[in-house]
Every structure is written in structure tokens, then in C-alpha cells.
Structure 1
């Protein structure tokens, strides 16, 4: 396949040969599981019904057919990864009934026919393979416990081969959340399949090495993404559960990481229970997030600041603001990173007001180019360019070299001052942003200041959640924003022309929702250019 993530590294070609298959992967296979790890995660019965009807919908794409489209030529890399990962078995389980069980067996059997003893860069990508090992073991009681002896033997033989493959290839080029998910597969394989304990020993050593690097002192994951935060925490809970089921000591690095990551996951939640939309994240499912937090069983209130991954959380009254105030994730860990430096989101209670545009599940090509762009975030753009270079196939080509933030919490409210030099190639322009949220939570005042050369066009964007309605006030330079609850907020600005225009929101799923954005436009002046704006709850007792 042409997808970057499925291109084998040096030496990968020989893995397809029969000699490698016989020498490296063959060996005795267990006949049953030594233990079945707990699987606390909910499945989606509607998704399971699609699978029952041979409709394969993953990562924003859907394909149908009597024969499973394992290598559909028009499928994206994320779709292929999900298809071959079999994590969707839990959706068939949620559907219930013998038909779902039979369909699971048919799909597993067909995969074994196609790829069980034949290496393929998609089917045998280590992170995809590890997901499949975890799924087949975790869903064993659903689809395999009552299967015929022939299928059971084939599955266990394949599992043993796949776990041995991981022993030979991991860590390889894997980094970040993908590596931790792969180590989970090694833990499952080594602990649940007799004779493969070397995989567990290798995984334990790599976990002890990787977790202090990936889970930073503020509890944030190095990919700086709320979605990665949720995924990695879920992986670690699964790993801990497997060790506990096997009555073995949980590696200290795993428990320490869970304890640190849990408050930071809470940090990224808005009042509706969903996640903030930074660096490739969608809202996620509040029920799943609640389940992860409950399974983590780790106390700790959300922090105000996560300085190592670069975010600020400002709360007052019913208002919550989350702001990206850090450098983008490092090269190699930036596959899903967005050019959203100094963007912010704002929610009132359970209602979102100011948002970023979100992310597409496929996260490649035109969708990535559009949604990872600075203009898809509630921040400032210069000359319609990005503050970090966005690659269509993932990652960033350039990034700010300096991002700074200062926070002051006082009786009157919270003040955050930040700046970045991501537009240094545009006349050495520096973007300064100041946010002040009053202690009541009903008055937000902002400034965007540009220092540098003149004659550059700028736009300060405020993307509104689709549920927000906008009205222009004829007698003053202001807009009235109405939340679904009926609450009204007045938006004012000076130093730029105010306009409203169309936008999109991809906070859930693959279908964009139409919405509106407020845009403040102008041209930089010699020296400094200052734009002031504010959001104030109408009917409050705050002085103007």
C-alpha cells in the first residue's frame, strides 16, 4: 500500500518470505488461554448491526460486500488499521445473539485464510497486529469459547505467530500512543498464551522505559492531544487489568502513569462531559470517558495549567476556557498535531460556545489540510497561512520555536498572557494574546496584538458551536449570541472589521455540521497592531 504508515522499514521485505515465516514465527501453539483479561469497555450495538450486515464503517468511510474488503484500494490508512485491528468485535458482542457470534467467526476465519501465514504490510503492521491480538484475546469468550476445534486451533496458532512477530519487531519505528498500544498486545499475548512469556518480559522493560518519557510530570501525554490522553489511559488500564487477572505485580511505571494521567484527562473535559478539540481530538463519548475515569480509580482534581504539554484551563462560575499555550508536539509524535497555537474553546455549563472545528476520523488529505489549519481554530491567522506547517499525510513541517505563557489568578479573575513566533517568516511578526475571565465567569475580555512589519492581512476567528445562534445588533458594533438554554452573550470588538461567515464543526463522527464563525479582519500597521474584543453575559450585573 502507498500509505506512509504501512511502508516497512529496512529489512522488512524478508518478513514476507517463507523462510522467515518458518524460522522466526513457527513454534508450539497453546490450546487455550491461561487467563481472560477483563474488558470493561462498552460496545455499540448499532455499529455491530452494520457489521452483521457486512457494512464496514470505520474512520469516516464505509464499504460493503459479501467478501470482507480487507485491502479496499480506496480505503484510508485509518480505515485499514481499524478493519484489520478487530477492535470492532466488541460491537458485534454488544449486538448479541448467535448471528453476531457466527459473523465474528466468519470474519476471523476469512482473515486467517488471507493473512494468517502470509505477511502483508497492512495486516502485519505491528500496532495493528497488537490491536488484533488484544481483541481476539479480550473477546475470546464471545466468539471463540464455543467454536469448533479447527477454528480454535487456527486462532491460537495465529496468535502465537503474531506475538512472536511482535517480539522480533517492537519497538521498531513505533512511538507515542501507537507504541504503548503495541506493548499492550505483547502483555496480553505473553500473559494469556502459555510459552510466550518472553513477550511480557520485553513489554515490561519497554513500559518502564517509555512511560516516564511519554507521560510528562503534569500528567499530559507527549502527543498533546485529548484524544491520545484518553486512548493511552485506556491502554494502561487494560495493561493493569491483565497483570491483576494474572495475579502478577503491576509495573510501578504503569500505576504511576495512570495516577498522573487521570486528572489531566479531566482537565480536557468541557461541562458536557466531552473533550476539547485540540490536535486531532473529537469530543468523544461522555459515557466512555466516564467509564475510563471510573476504571482508572485515581483521585485528583483537574489542574489549572499543564505546562509540560502547554495548556491552560480557566474556570469561573459556570464558564470553562481551555487554551493551547505550548509548543506543538515534537517531530515523530506530531502525526495528529494541528496548527492551533493560542487557540481557545469556551463552554458555559453543558453548552459549548466558542470551539475549534475539530477533526475528521480519517485525518488525511483534504480533511486534514482543512481541519488542522490555523484558520480552523479560534485564534489569529496572518496572510491566510498556518502558524505551523501542516502535512496532508500527518505531522508538521515547521512549528513555532518559542511559545510563552504567564498566568495570574486573583480575586477579580484570571489573566493569561501568551505569545508565539510561528509567523516569524512573515516580517518577524509575533502574535500576543491576552485573555481575562472575571471571577463571575460572565465577562471575558481579550486582546490580540501583532508586533512586526506592516501590510499583512490578519483574521481573528471565533468558531461558534452549531447550537449557537447569532444576531447583529443594528445600533452598535456588536453581535448577540444565543445558547440553546436561551442565555445571551454579547460580543464586541475594536481595531478590526467584524463579520460573520460560514464554518463547519466536526466534533463527532465523519459528517461536518454547518455553523458560523465570527471573523475580525484588518491589516497590520507599522510597529504594533492591537485588536480588542470581549464576550459578556447579557442580563448580568457586571459593569461594561
Structure 2
């Protein structure tokens, strides 16, 4: 019964197209005849600029020459070690493309072909040739029911894009490579992920536009892709510049996608309308401003919702790409900024960076990358991270994935050991918290009268009909956090997760936190009991770094926690 209720509370938020689209996707398996005679369209200039991916294929130093026979090609491929997400794999026979002992996300990465455009790609060109040759030979099916993971629309879309970017740098492209590319594009045209929407449909559309520009006689792909993007860009990129899944990682990926499309438009101006290119440019500039506000002084993203470092390109890489396309960019983050549509408040100064979440957990109809993290925040002091959200090290449906999405893995309050939003399975959410009474006073930034207040409804489903409200109050050298609960509760705990570099000293009067560079921070509380517990931080996929968290158990309906530095007065 519990599972049925979770499912019902999940389904009620979906768009109709997601429901009947899933039925269509399961029942309809299009077959596409292999294309012959594919031709490349003439372009205005080579499309050689892009953000280099991180190397994911590693080969011996022996440096075998370009494959000239099937046996040599197979030997070259067998030399390659694929490294993704903290795991490794080799393809020594055709079935290894869909190895049953590997996670689906890992196998997706194998089929993406990111390494074709990675740092140092030229030193691995003979192995890339073997990789393409063997993929074509080993994955002949025109769909996942025959061809496995490589024919599913998302990896198929990314591979089309990577192949075209790679082909653009070659003097000649073998005809059978072009025929395979065209066949894949024709299949994708009939296999779009309307049942998933979001970043999946966006990537499908981007791949169709790439194929439609690069290949002659693929206007149907081009027009379909442009039509989808013209609808999805204003849907997915909010008015404040944030990506609607509210994850800095997916925001960065989407921004790279827009830059790629701008780059493509410069190469194929006859195929992509100027008005569309101008829209892309304006939206990309807004996205840069949002991303700059959402990063820490260390230059890396904040970890809200599904987010991990080293997956998406960082701000500097994106900015370098944008400058090569002559885009004007914001120079610095705003001192104080409220991104009202995405629900993030950010404060930046020489000594402090604080990023507060007072918004929804994500779009109602696609919360797959959302965490139960309402009213969480991250804090850096003196250029170093102090308080961190869990981050994301795994996908899938296991208990660790659920734990990392849970409320207790974030800097916020857990009531009755329940999550503030009902995250379940790997990418689903049933009843979810909604913010209200948001008040942001950042007009007098200087940390004398700066306050942010919000409440959320996530615990109203509990017996006590509880409401959690939080106020952040900034003073000279201090941050005071006031957490209040309405309604009766059995237990409530406020968690504050420390960066692994923070050393903790406990005294009778409170807790002293020592930064790696030597500065000290005092933490005091009233209304609750503090203790230090072991925890873990997950800044990258496959990474689990031991850390500590401070747990403050409510003894009253309200607790006040003060974080003070620079000898600020301690009066929580």
C-alpha cells in the first residue's frame, strides 16, 4: 500500500505526454534501414571550438599505428581502458559493450564517445579509429532491443554530437562512418524521449540539429530539433538564468549545450535562423551570471540537488569557450543576489560566500535530480568551504543513492526521521516540500541588516502538521540561523555538514572549527543539544570522503545556532 501511495503521489505531477509517451516508447520500436551514400554539407567555417572533455580512455604507451585490418582494430580497442565514475572496463569482445556486470550509467558513458573530443585526443587517434570501427561492427541493430545501450536515445544523442565534432577535425571521413552516423540520426528522429522531457529531450533535439546541419538531405532532423529547442529553452532556462532542474552541474551542462549550438550556428548560418542564434546568446549570458553567483571561492560549483564536480565543464572552461565565440560575460558575482525564479539567495564578500536554497526542489513534472533539501545552504569562509551538502557519488536505485538524496545529508532540519520531500527509488519524488513566506532583505548588504527567511510545507503530511521555518541573519563576522518548528513532533535534528578539511574541537561551551589555513570559527547553539557525528562528502561520482557533521537535537520548538568568526560576540 505504501508503494502504491508513493506511485500515486508521483504520477499526479506528471504531464499527460509523459504518461502516454512512456506507453508509446515501450510499445513502439521503429526500424530504420541502414543509410547509404550519406554526404556532408558545406559549411561557412570549421566547427573546431568546444570545451574539451576529460580523458576517459587510457592506452598503453606502445603507440600502435592506425588499424588497417579487423584483427588489428580489435587489438587496438582491447588496449583501451575506459575509466568513468570510479570504475574501469575493457571491450575485448562485442558483448562487452553491454556488459551485464556494469551499471547502466557506466555503459552509457562507454557509448557516449566523449574521449573523441577530450584533452590529448590527438595522441589517441588510432585508438579512436578502432573505437568507431568496432562500434559500427558490434552494434548493428537499429534500436535498443537489438543494439543494446548504445541505441537508447540519450547515449545515441551524445554520440552523434561527439562524432560530428570529431569528424570536423578530420581531413576525410570514411563513407561507412557517415552512413552509420546518418542511420543513427534517422533512428533518433523516431525515438525522442518525450516521456522523460527535461535534459534528455533537450539533448535529443541538439543532436538532431547537429545532424541536420552536418549531413546533406537531413532537413527533417534539423527542423524537428529546432522546433523542440524553441519550446524547451524558455521552459528549461528560467527568467533568472537558472536551469529549471536547479542543479549547478546540470546548469553547466545545459550552458555548454547552448554554446555548442551558437558555435554550430556560426558554421551553418544558412541552416539556423539569426533570431534563434540571438536568443541563444542572450540566454547563455544570463546563465553565466547565474552560475557565477552559484560557485564557491575555490572556483567549483555548489552541490545542490544532483551535483558533482568533474562531470560538467567548470566556469573557467565555459568562459574561455564563450570568449572564443565573442560573447560578453559578467566579470564577478554579485555581492548579494536573489534568483527569485530558481529560489537561491547568494552573498559574496572577501571573507564569506553563502548560498541559501529557499525555492522548490525542482520542476514538478521532472524532479528526478532533486534532493529533499529544502532550506539547506552552503557556506565558505576565508575562501574555503566550511558547510557542504552531501554531493552525489552514485545514481541507480540503491540505499546509498537514497541516503544522499535524503534530508539528513543536507544542512537543514529533519523531523521524525522523515525526509522533507518523499524521494524514493533512484529518481522519483512523491509528495514534495513547497516554500512559502520567503522574505529576502539584502538591500543593505554589509552584514548589518541582512536577513533571509523562508518556510516550507514538507512536514505538513506528518501527524503534527509541522512547518519548518528558517531565518539566516548576517552580522559583522557572524551568521545566526534560527530554526523553528510548529506543531508537536517526536524528534527533530538540525544537521550541519563540515568539509573534510575542517578540524573539530569540542568544549563545554560549544564547538571550535579550525580551517585548513588556520582560521578558527566558533559554533554555539541554544534550544538544543549538539554532538559531532561521522559523515561523508561526495564531491565527485565514485568519491566518498570521510567528514564530520554537527547534529543539534531540538529540546524546544526553536533552536538558534550562531557561526562566528573574527572574534564576533557569541550570543545565540
Q: TM-score, normalised by structure 2?
A: 0.84
Query: CA 1:298–1:181 in 2, change beyond 3 Å: closer, same or farther?
Result: farther
1:137 aligns with 2:164: yes
* Larger displacement relative to structure 2 (113-122 or 336-345): 113-122
1:534: which partner in 2? 562
2:5: which partner in 1? none
Structure 2 stretches of 5 or more lacking a match?
A: 1-17, 61-76
Question: Deviation digits for residues 152-184 of structure 1, max 9, x if unmatched?
Answer: 222101111122223333353242222222222
Equivalent residues in 2 for 1:33-52, closer than 5 Å: 34=43, 36-45=46-55, 47-49=57-59
Q: 1:287: how far off?
A: 7.1
The structure 2 residue matched to 1:467, chosen from 494, 501, 520, is 501
Query: CA 1:243–1:130 in 2, change beyond 3 Å: closer, same or farther?
Result: same
Query: CA 1:65–1:197 in 2, change beyond 3 Å: closer, same or farther?
Result: closer
1:502: which partner in 2? 534
Rounded to whole Å, the distance in 1 between the matches of 2:186 and 2:109 is 22
1:173: which partner in 2? 195
Query: CA 1:363–1:272 in 2, change beyond 3 Å: closer, same or farther?
Result: farther
Rounded to whole Å, the distance in 1 between the matches of 2:397 and 2:130 is 31
Equivalent residues in 2 for 1:307-456, closer than 5 Å: 307-362=340-395, 364-409=397-442, 410=444, 412-426=448-462, 427-438=464-475, 440=476, 442-454=477-489, 456=490
Count of residue pairs the alignment pairs up: 516
Whether the 8 Å contact between 1:450 and 1:530 is mirrored in structure 2 is yes
* Larger displacement relative to structure 2 (193-202 or 163-172): 163-172
Whether the 8 Å contact between 1:339 and 1:374 is mirrored in structure 2 is yes
Question: Deviation digits for residues 210-242 of structure 1, max 9, x if unmatched?
Answer: 111111111111111111110000000001101
Query: CA 1:478–1:363 in 2, change beyond 3 Å: closer, same or farther?
Result: farther
The structure 2 residue matched to 1:55, chosen from 81, 85, 99, is 81
1:481: which partner in 2? 513
3-state DSSP class of the match of 2:500? Answer: coil
Query: CA 1:171–1:512 in 2, change beyond 3 Å: closer, same or farther?
Result: closer
Q: 1:14: how far off?
A: 5.3
1:79 aligns with 2:128: no
Rounded to whole Å, the distance in 1 between the matches of 2:286 and 2:200 is 19
Q: 1:462: how far off?
A: 0.5
Question: Deviation digits for residues 477-505 of structure 1, max 9, x if unmatched?
Answer: 21110111101000001111110010000
Q: 1:53: how far off?
A: 4.0
1:196: which partner in 2? 218
Rounded to whole Å, the distance in 2 between the matches of 1:53 and 1:235 is 31
3-state DSSP class of the match of 1:198? Answer: helix
Q: 1:103: how far off?
A: 1.4
3-state DSSP class of the match of 2:250? Answer: helix
3-state DSSP class of the match of 1:88? Answer: helix
Rounded to whole Å, the distance in 1 between the matches of 2:239 and 2:115 is 33
3-state DSSP class of the match of 2:240? Answer: coil
* Larger displacement relative to structure 2 (395-404 or 240-249): 395-404
Question: Deviation digits for residues 240-279 of structure 1, max 9, x if unmatched?
Answer: 1011012344413322321221101112100000011111
Rounded to whole Å, the distance in 2 between the matches of 1:530 and 1:14 is 55
Query: CA 1:512–1:11 in 2, change beyond 3 Å: closer, same or farther?
Result: closer
Question: Deviation digits for residues 18-73 of structure 1, max 9, x if unmatched?
Answer: xx323xx6464116875642343134347544888432222343223523621111
2:281: which partner in 1? 255
1:15 aligns with 2:32: no
Question: Deviation digits for residues 65-101 of structure 1, max 9, x if unmatched?
Answer: 523621111322321221111123223x61543xx21
Query: CA 1:134–1:396 in 2, change beyond 3 Å: closer, same or farther?
Result: same
Rounded to whole Å, the distance in 2 between the matches of 1:361 and 1:195 is 41
Query: CA 1:345–1:82 in 2, change beyond 3 Å: closer, same or farther?
Result: same
Q: 1:465: how far off?
A: 0.2
Whether the 8 Å contact between 2:49 and 2:321 is mirrored in structure 1 is no
Query: CA 1:163–1:114 in 2, change beyond 3 Å: closer, same or farther?
Result: same
Rounded to whole Å, the distance in 2 between the matches of 1:41 and 1:292 is 7
Whether the 8 Å contact between 2:143 and 2:187 is mirrored in structure 1 is no
3-state DSSP class of the match of 2:50? Answer: coil
3-state DSSP class of the match of 2:129? Answer: helix
Question: Deviation digits for residues 88-121 of structure 1, max 9, x if unmatched?
Answer: 3223x61543xx2121122212211122343215
3-state DSSP class of the match of 1:160? Answer: helix
Q: 1:416: how far off?
A: 0.6
3-state DSSP class of the match of 2:540? Answer: coil
Equivalent residues in 2 for 1:94-173, closer than 5 Å: 94=120, 96-97=122-123, 100-120=124-144, 122-140=149-167, 145=171, 152-170=174-192, 172-173=194-195
Equivalent residues in 2 for 1:291-306, closer than 5 Å: 291-296=317-322, 297-300=327-330, 302=333, 304-306=337-339
3-state DSSP class of the match of 1:139? Answer: helix
> What RMSD in Å do the two structures reach over aligned CA positions?
2.6
* Larger displacement relative to structure 2 (461-470 or 126-135): 126-135
Q: 1:349: how far off?
A: 3.6
3-state DSSP class of the match of 2:120? Answer: helix
Query: CA 1:325–1:196 in 2, change beyond 3 Å: closer, same or farther?
Result: same
Structure 1 stretches of 5 or more lacking a match?
A: none
* Larger displacement relative to structure 2 (166-175 or 423-432): 166-175
Whether the 8 Å contact between 1:212 and 1:253 is mirrored in structure 2 is no
